[in-house]
Chains A and B, each alone.
Chain A
Amino acid sequence: MGKKKEKKEINEKVDVEAVEIEDDTWWWLTHKGIGATFLCISVFALLVRVAVSLHPYSGAGSPPKFGDYEAQRHWMEITLNLPVLEWYRNSTGNDLSYWGLDYPPLTAYQSYFHGLFLRFFDPDSVSLFTSRGYETYVGKLLMRWTVLSSDTLIFFPAIFYFAFVYHSSCHSSRKNDCAWHIAMLLLNPCLILIDHGHFQYNCISLGLTVAAIAAILSQRELLASCLFTLALSHKQMSVYYAPAFFSHLLGKCLRRKNPIHGVAKLGLTVLGTFTVVWWPYLHSTDALLGVLSRLAPFERGIYEDYVANFWCTSSVIIKWKRLFSVHSLKFISLTATVLTCLPSMVQQVMAPSSRGFLYGLLNSSFAFYLFSFQVHEKSILLPLLPASLLALEERRPFKWLMFYGLFSMFPLLCRDKLVLPYFALHALFMLLYHAPCGHGGRPRNARPNNTKFDYFDSFKTFMNGFIYLSSFILHIVYLTMHPPEKFPYLFEAIIMLICFYQFALLAFYTNVKQWSLLEHSTTEEEKKLI
């Protein structure tokens, strides 16, 4: 008995000392190292995903077209029952006007494998023709599980890879920060809502992109280019990141002894990966062009619904669709996108750095979101990803972007009957963001410098508060009130205006931030030289 007591006392003593050393709420979560922390958070993130997947998907019970859920199921049906060459071609077996496949081949392969899974358990759900609009308990469950498994197998390991590389490279980061960062990455409410609520497979292409980014941070450029090519072949939207990858890799190659050799190696890797993925469509130009034309649906117009980008917002004043032909609009939007990408690309070519690369990703995806052709509300996921990768450095802007990103998708999620998960995940994100002893109380150290700009600061907080408040009111108004009959989309338009304003501000800020990195690095280099 005596021994036991002694042991207890020692334990307690040690505990008190431990508290002194690391006065943290999360000491117990992080002390076993990054692996255990990641495991714990990822199990929680999975639980949240499963819980969200209980809710309705897009187009549930709304014939004849249904929604994205039916599209994905239809692709499984098509890929499973037709030969490869007919997947993208209009034929008696494949009516392209009913959710024709419009993503690159990797999505088609993924649909094929998921189709196999569905056929094994529930053959009716993927039978040709007869399964249209197939909605059953088991069918929904199996479909949801395909997304869950893709998330677990691709997105989670990619995030682990990234967190491992990112946090082992900067030694100064505290373990707490690391746990917080992983939570921010894995519990991104927008991604969860779109993938597990609305129903899509963004986790695959975004996961491949994150893995590619992590590979670049760990100096494995060939692996990175291969992974990014895969991401591109899964969803053409990944092209939003292409300028950043391109400029960063180019900048790095130029600094080597033999730049051409480096570029050639990377180019060959990219081409090789493309060849493998696109192999079935490469033997004739017709087949290839057929697929490519499916991927770029220019006939759908420059914008759809109420997306918070430049074209849609400015169309309140300038009727782009009436003034210009589709062809010239294509050209205008391409020019605008390239022009907005250019500064960040130039920065990366001039001074490629890991941090700069992350900012570059954010800037180029912002440029595409704001100015490119045919952008969807869901595309805000693409700027959100690099923003969440940068969450530790850009805490406030990250929260800001998440808030308005979610807000911009609110009308979409309302249509999908995902209001409850929307608010629950929003709250969960805010709670995790302000985790006790996490980051809520930390900026105190940074305060004293800012006292000079008190006037400006208070104005800023006032503006922020005002916009937060008005968006909160808009949430309620949107849910409870009917818009006037003259303007049935009034609320959507207001939400779009607010969000566009915020996104544009943020894009400007991050561009400036990326360029200021350049000054930093040059001054640091100068210091080193001295």
Chain B
Amino acid sequence: MESSSSTRQLLWFFAIAVCVKLLLIPAYHSTDFEVHRHWLALTHSLPLSNWYADETSPWTLDYPPFFACFERFLSIFAHYIDPQIVDLHNGLNYRANSAIYFLRISVILSDLWLLYGVYRLTKNADVKRRYLIWVLIVWSPALVMVDHLHFQYNGFLLGWLLLSISFLQEGKDLMGGFLFAVLLCFKHLFAVAAPVYFVYLLRHYCWKGLVRGFSRLSVLGAVVVAVFAAAYGPFLYHGQIQQVFNRMFPFGRGLCHAYWAPNFWVFYIILDKVFSFFLKKFGFSIQIPAASFTGGLVGDSSPFAVLPKISPSTTLIMVLLALSPCFIKAWTNPQPRMVARWIAYAYTCGFLFGWHVHEKASLHFVIPLAIVAVQSLEDAKHYFMLSIVSCYSLFPLLYEGQEYPIKVLLLLLHSILMWLGFSTKFTRASAPNTMVTAKKKGAQSKSIESSSPAAEKGGFTIGWVGKSYLLGLLLVEIWGQFLHPYLLGDKFPFVPLMLISTYCAFGIMYSWIWQLRWIISTT
């Protein structure tokens, strides 16, 4: 009875979101829409062996095999709706309503998997926590912006991650590891957390004496190998495996994406610019490289004028270094309740120091962190900041006028909901409210009032640093949207975007340091 009503309520939350998402169908979608439509056509019309070899469109398949299979599965229905959607040649840049509705609705429905993940994670949580987590994940503005406007399937993928975390939290490590392996075969960008998984599973699942431990290790290994064999086996059989990996890891791309994700490298680039500027002033001859960072694809030439060039392996080492405290903790004290934090921390590190990071990757840690956001006041405060910053950093994805109010309202609504939710969760009812209940309930509520002062001390408030930072966010937005075009016109068109990523990078850095401190300090 209890669980059925809670399922119903979760579905209610989901249905409200679906209504809004349906309304957003005619909104702007990025080229990712055509990418996914092309993949539908590709997987539908070509045999498996040609999936990764085809070059009909520049949008070649560059996700792992399970995702290709997922597209193949969707293409069956697409074929019934409108055969032109899955036509390899005639379907190129096909934008009829049937295609738009089909693809949009497929994203909305695939979110059911995320919903199942959320359901599994929260089915044992107490009522208040549950609602807050639902609001944070099911009504996440970042997911709406990336999945339902920009167009991707992150909700579905994050569903696998949340499911995996939910199993780990219950102590069912094998299942958690299995689901994570499946996730990796859907999208390899999730692999950043793989070292954490490895250390944790090795210690928590396998470290049980020599014989038992070894047998568990081999079971776990067999499961992972089986998953990967299922994914890559067919391509190995067709001799395509090299091609698959070439497509999946295009290291020809630069350190930063066209729009810089708000991460550590933003500071590095700016430092380089500042150095070269001053050195030039002091009379040194500095060659400013022609390849500007706003151009997107950066070739082999070093884009930096003064500072040393960064290679993919450098970023890898930096990520691993940043992760090392987490490894130590996971090894010395592997606790299921910490898993969500560790995984989120791993994605934060990957986001901050990784190679060619997309701003959308911030979803990978913002969504899992929602699970722990309601655990303590400190968590809530941190999540409030992080969520706003990461959502704001996604704004440049939707640059057209029509979607402007939508993204602003989404962020505003999310902030208000978080503020309301957290402040109720972490304060006892405010004064007038207690008065009313005191009248009603008499003696019972008096006992509550006596205990409330202690709780009231730790109310949900944002300190002046946080407040001024958020205010600065508003200023950055006003500058970029209104003042810059008005004052400078078309000059320096890259400045607003640069400002956004730099400013948001501070917020993400803060979140990283906060998470790191938390991980180190908890025993």
Spot the interface stretch: A42-50, A301-309, A363-371, A491-499.
A42-50
B19, A431: Cβ atoms closer than 8 Å: yes
Give the contacting residue for A40; candidates B127, B128, B420, B430; CB below 8 A: B420
For B12, what are the chain A residues with a Cβ–Cβ distance below 8 Å? 431, 435-436
B9–A436 touching, CB < 8 Å: yes
Cβ of A46 and Cβ of B23 under 8 Å apart? no
CA distance A427 to B22 in the complex (A): 11
> With A14-B448, A51-B24, A51-B406 in contact, is A25–B9 under 8 Å at CB?
yes
Q: How many A-B residue pairs have CB under 8 A?
A: 128
A474 at interface by CB-CB < 8 Å: no
CB pair A54–B402 under 8 Å, yes or no, is yes
Q: How far is the CA of A47 from the CA of B414 in the complex (A)?
A: 11
Does the CB pair A28–B413 fall under 8 Å? Answer: no
The stretch from A5-13, A311-319, A509-517, A522-530 touching chain B is A5-13
Docked Cα-Cα span, A22 to B25, in Å, equals: 38
> In the complex, which of the residues A1, A16, A425 contacts B523, with contact meaning CB atoms closer than 8 Å?
A1
What is the 8 Å Cβ interface bit string for chain B, positions 418-452, against chain A (1 contact, 0 not)? 00110111101110010001000100010010011
Among the stretches A29-37, A75-83, A202-210, A446-454, the one at the interface with B is A29-37
The interface residues of chain B lying within 8 Å CB-to-CB of A15 are: 126, 128, 425
In the complex, residue of chain B having the shortest beta-carbon distance to the beta carbon of A436: B9
Tell me, yes or no, whether B325 is within 8 Å of chain A by CB: no
Q: Say whether A17 faces chain B, with CB atoms less than 8 Å apart.
A: yes
Contact of B454 with A424 in the complex, beta carbons under 8 Å = no
Task: Say yes or no: B413 contacts A44, CB within 8 Å.
Answer: yes
- Closest CB of chain B to A26's CB: distance in Å? 9
Asked if A427 contacts B23 (CB within 8 A), the reply is: no
**By CB atoms of chain A within 10 A, which of B19, B131, B417 has the most?**
B19
B27 at the interface (CB under 8 A from A): yes
Instruction: Tell me whether A428 and B16 are in contact in the complex, defined as CB-CB below 8 angstroms, given that A19-B127, A43-B416, A47-B413 are known contacts.
Output: yes
* C-alpha spacing A18/B444, complex, angstroms: 11
Q: What residues on B are CB-neighbors of A243 within 8 Å?
A: none
The CA-CA distance from A48 to B455 in the complex, in Å, is 37
Determine if B312 is an interface residue (Cβ-Cβ < 8 Å). no
Contact assessment for B445 and A21 in the assembled complex, using a CB-CB cutoff below 8 Å: yes
**B274 within 8 Å of A by Cβ?**
no
Select from chain B the residue with minimum beta-carbon distance to A435.
B12
Q: Is there contact, CB below 8 Å, between A47 and B410?
A: yes
Q: Is B299 an interface residue (CB 8 A)?
A: no
Q: Output the least CB separation between B520 and chain A (Å).
A: 13
The CA-CA distance from A391 to B433 in the complex, in Å, is 25
Which A residue sits closest to B432, measured CB to CB?
A33
Q: B23–A424 contact, CB under 8 A? A: yes
**Residue from A14, A145, A424, A436 within 8 A of B428 (CB atoms):** A14
- Residues of the A chain whose Cβ atoms lie less than 8 Å from the Cβ of B458: 7, 11
When distances are taken between beta carbons in the complex, the residues of chain B under 8 Å from A27 are 128, 424
Interface assignment of A141: CB less than 8 Å from any CB of chain B: yes
Q: In the complex the two chains form, what is the Cα distance from A432 to B17 in whole Å?
A: 12
- B23 close to A28 (CB less than 8 A): no
List chain B residues, Cβ under 8 A from A423: 22
Q: Contact: B19 with A47, CB < 8 Å?
A: no
Which DSSP category, helix, strand, loop or mixed, fits chain B's interface?
A: helix
Partner of A28, one of B128, B441, B452: B128
Contact of A54 among B27, B417, B420, B424 (CB under 8 A): B27
B521, closest chain A residue (CB):
A1
User: Which residues does chain B contribute within 8 Å of A43, judged by CB atoms?
Assistant: 409, 412-413, 416
Interface residue A138 (Cβ < 8 Å from any Cβ of B): yes
Question: How many residues of A are in contact with the other chain, CB < 8 A?
Answer: 50
Asked if B15 is at the interface of the complex by the 8 Å CB criterion, the answer is: yes
B377 within 8 A of A: yes
A148 touches B433 (CB 8 A): no
Closest to B448 in A: A17
Establish whether residues A421 and B23, one from each chain, have CB atoms under 8 Å apart when the complex forms.
yes
B126 — which chain A residues lie within 8 A by C-beta? 15-16, 19
Most chain B CB inside 10 Å of its own CB: which residue of A1, A4, A21: A21
* Complex interface residues of chain A between 275 and 297 (CB less than 8 A to chain B): none
- The answer for the CA separation of A14 and B377 in the assembled complex, in Å, is 14
A420 part of interface (Cβ distance < 8 Å):
yes
C-alpha spacing A40/B421, complex, angstroms: 11
CA distance A48 to B16 in the complex (A): 11
Q: Are B8 and A28 in contact (CB under 8 A)?
A: no
Q: Which of B412, B420, B452 interacts with A14 by CB under 8 Å? A: B452
Bound-state CA distance A7–B380 (Å) is: 14
Q: Which of B13-57 contact A (CB under 8 A)?
A: 15-16, 19-20, 22-27
A10 & B454 in contact (Cβ 8 Å cutoff): yes
Q: Write out the residue numbers on chain B whose beta carbons fall within 8 Å of the beta carbon of A32.
A: 420, 423-424, 430
Chain B, residue nearest A11 (CB): B455
Closest to A12 in B: B126
- Asked whether any CB of chain A lies closer than 8 Å to the CB of B401, the reply is yes
A50 touching B406, Cβ below 8 Å: yes
Q: How far is the CA of A46 from the CA of B20 in the complex (A)?
A: 11
Most chain A Cβ neighbours within 10 Å, of B131, B430, B445: B131
When distances are taken between beta carbons in the complex, the residues of chain A under 8 Å from B131 are 25, 28
A54 touches B24 (CB 8 A): yes
Task: Assess the A10–B451 pair: CB atoms within 8 A.
Answer: yes
List the B side residues contacting A435 at CB < 8 Å: 12
Contact A10 B445 (CB under 8 A): no
Interfacial chain A residues near B448, Cβ < 8 Å: 14, 17, 21
Decide if A178 is an interface residue (CB 8 Å cutoff).
no
B357 at the A interface (CB under 8 A): no
Instruction: Tell which of B24, B409, B429 touches A18, judged by Cβ atoms closer than 8 Å.
Output: B429
Task: Evaluate contact between A50 and B437: CB separation under 8 angstroms.
Answer: no
B441's closest neighbor in chain A, by CB? Answer: A21
Cα distance, A31 to B5, chains bound together (Å):
23
Residue pair A54, B26 in contact (C-beta under 8 Å):
yes
Which of these, A4, A48, A148, contacts B376 with CB under 8 Å? A4
Q: CB distance A36 to B23 under 8 Å?
A: no
| Interface hits, A133-174 → B, CB 8 Å | 137-138, 141, 145, 148
Which residues in A have some Cβ–Cβ distance to B below 8 Å? 1, 4, 7-8, 10-11, 13-19, 21-22, 25, 27-29, 31-32, 36, 39-40, 43-44, 46-48, 50-52, 54-55, 137-138, 141, 145, 148, 420-421, 423-425, 427-428, 431-432, 435-436
**28 A/B residue pairs, CB under 8 Å, sorted by A:** A7-B454, A7-B455, A14-B428, A14-B452, A14-B455, A15-B126, A15-B128, A18-B428, A19-B128, A21-B445, A22-B437, A28-B128, A28-B131, A28-B420, A31-B430, A47-B406, A50-B406, A51-B24, A51-B406, A54-B26, A54-B402, A137-B401, A137-B402, A138-B401, A420-B23, A428-B20, A431-B12, A436-B8
Closest CB pairs A-B (n = 4)? A51-B23, A428-B19, A28-B424, A47-B409
Known: A10-B455, A46-B405. 13 other contacts (CB 8 A): A7-B377, A7-B458, A11-B458, A21-B448, A28-B132, A32-B420, A36-B420, A39-B416, A47-B20, A51-B24, A51-B406, A427-B15, A431-B16
